[in-house]
Amino acid sequence: MAAPCGRSSRWLWAAVVPAAVLCLAVRAAEEASTAEFDVRPGGEVHFFSRSLGDYTCTFTYSAQGGTNEQWQMNIGVSEDNLLFSCSVWRPQGKSYLFFTQFKAEVKGAKIEYAMAYSQAAVGAQSDIPLKQEEFEITETTVSHREGKFRFELSKLMIVAKTPHDEL
């Protein structure tokens, strides 16, 4: 399953999966990596990538307006090596940049769940998800949907299933 179906399922996933990702990050603290990077305006396509073992997450984007913003990427692998997570977000909550495109891609795993947000939770504010029509999810990517994306992005979250051998 790449994305939750139906409105009620979507909100259930939006509530449950962030908690699961947090547990994954806590349980796999020694198998996690957080890196800071600048999201730069100017209309050029930029990317930021991180790997952990056999798994890679790459965030590609183009943005306009304002000045550089400090963002973070967190990647992690569960203790049982069955899940790979990748989160990209602006820790201050809301980005003031105008994103013309975005794509997050995972290598070495297949996306089980993904969500994009126009605002990331900070303080008393909650995550505000993009409308499902604004982005699309494939087995390995989450990206803007041309003509539907409203140019606001502050957070991307991906949980991917890693390949494993059955006994």
For the stretch 33-77, pLDDT in tens is 999 999 999 999 999 999 999 999 999 999 999 899 999 999 999
> Which structural domain range is residue 122 located in?
33-161
pLDDT classification of 4: cutoffs 50, 70, 90: very low
- pLDDT reported for residue 166: 57
Query: Residue 120: inside a domain, yes or no?
Result: yes
Q: What pTM was computed for the model?
A: 0.82
CA distance 153 to 167: 42
pLDDT at 8 over 60: no
Query: Residue 57: inside a domain, yes or no?
Result: yes
Query: Residue 4: inside a domain, yes or no?
Result: no
Query: Residue 14: inside a domain, yes or no?
Result: no
CA distance 141 to 156: 11
- Give me the DSSP letters along 25-56: HHHTGGGEEEEEEEE-BSS--EEEEEEETTEE
Q: What is the DSSP pairing of strand 128-129 with strand 110-119?
A: antiparallel
Query: Residue 101: inside a domain, yes or no?
Result: yes
Give the number of domains in the chain.
1
Query: Residue 127: inside a domain, yes or no?
Result: yes
pLDDT at 89 over 60: yes
List Cβ neighbours of 68 (8 Å cut-off, separation of 6 or more): 38, 39, 40, 41
